[in-house]
Amino acid sequence: MEKFLQTLIDALAVGSLYALIALGYTMVYGILKFINFAHSDVFVLGAWTSFLVAVAAGWGDPQASAGAGREWVAWVLWAATIAAAVIAAFEYAAWKRRHPTDAFSLNRTRLAGSLVLVAAWGWAALGLAKMAGVVKAWGDNGLFSGLLILLCAMATCGLVGFVLERLAYKPLRKAPRLNVLITAIGVSLLLQNLGQLQAMFGTRPQRMPTLLPTDAPLATIANVKIMPVDVIGAATAVALMFLLDFLVHRTKFGRSMRAVSFNPTTASLMGIPVDRVISVTFVIGASLAAAAGFLYGQKYPGLNQTAAAVWVLLGLKAFVAAVVGGIGNIRGAMLGGVLIGLLEFFGAAYVSAAMRDVYVFSLLIVVLLVRPSGILGRPMVEKV
């Protein structure tokens, strides 16, 4: 009984993280019908960003070599701010020459509006990082600092997702899917190799500071200690997943997302801002991946370099979770993540730990043979 309960707790904790990562895969596929293979690297970015912000706030080892990655951030933000102001002034002057009586709006600009958004977004993320340091100086035990660091990681990865969509994927929106797939693989390799630079995260493994309470268990059942890090991590993951489900199925913007998923051309004719919906989809998926990265760092504090095989394997398992649950289906991603976690941990505990990865990918093969659309997915019907 003790072994069973411990395995169940670990499986649910890690399975909820798989589900968070899988949501990013399934959302992008549901709208654009392509697999964003760079999504797993955004998850890694979330984990390492959480580490950098935690070290900068005063947690962990202040002499960590990866801390050098924060020195150039302010310079980049200032450059983006100045560029946004200059380009906005030029586009304002051009607009007034063409439309002297109409009001000017950044939404009507091609570049200035995006630069202003990126600059403001970046400063907001940096402000969250500074607030984490202030809270730590006030004597926080780690819980409030952890919340701010989580929000900072989500904001940073959301910004990265927005920039990647605008620069890498938007120009290829009408290109063949193979071109987009190759671009996604290229973006993945770019993020992996940039992360190994000393100015970013470096190549040395680091230990994530402990921000969630670990000193005493919340409860003990059959000699199994239920630790706060497991409960908080799983509860955060479940809360974020339910918020996303509410957004997609119960709000006006969610209806816009589903309309774009069904037919982008028809949605644009109905007045839905397709570009904005797609950008927000990338931002939400990247933010959820960042949350999973932060929670994973609290569960397993050892952080390997960004190109390590362990990160690649985690991304593949999350992708398997999305396919098993029904890629394109949000609730299917939740179900797939939990199933993958249960299969992996129970298989490792009761059959063979050396074959834990074999169980996951065997399930993928079985699902593709028996139900190719996934457990909750619907077969695509094309009329000819």
Residue 381's pLDDT is 57
User: Tens digits of per-residue pLDDT, 169-191?
Assistant: 888 888 888 888 899 999 999 99
Mean pLDDT value across residues 17-35: 86
Instruction: Give the mean model confidence (pLDDT) for residues 15-37.
Output: 86
pLDDT at 213: 67
- In this structure, of 137-151, 208-222, 340-354, the range with the lowest mean pLDDT score is 208-222
pLDDT value at residue 67: 45
298 band by pLDDT with thresholds 50, 70 and 90: confident
Percentages (nearest 5) of helix, strand, coil residues in the chain: 75, 5, 25
Average pLDDT of 280-294?
A: 91
Please state, in angstroms and rounded to a whole number, the distance separating the CA atoms of residues 233 and 51: 16
- Percentage of residues of the chain with pLDDT beyond 70: 94
| 54, 251, 254 from 133: Cα distances, Å | 8, 36, 36
CA distances from 256 to 27, 75, 100, 278, 281 (A): 13, 37, 33, 10, 11
Q: 5 vs 110, which has greater pLDDT?
A: 5
Query: What's the maximum distance between 2 C-alpha atoms anywhere in the chain?
Result: 77
Give the model's pLDDT for residue 68. Answer: 46
What is the residue whose two structure tokens read 């816009």?
Answer: 256
Chain segment 234-249, per-residue pLDDT in tens:
888 888 888 888 888 8
**Higher-pLDDT residue of 25, 217:** 25
220 beta partners: 225
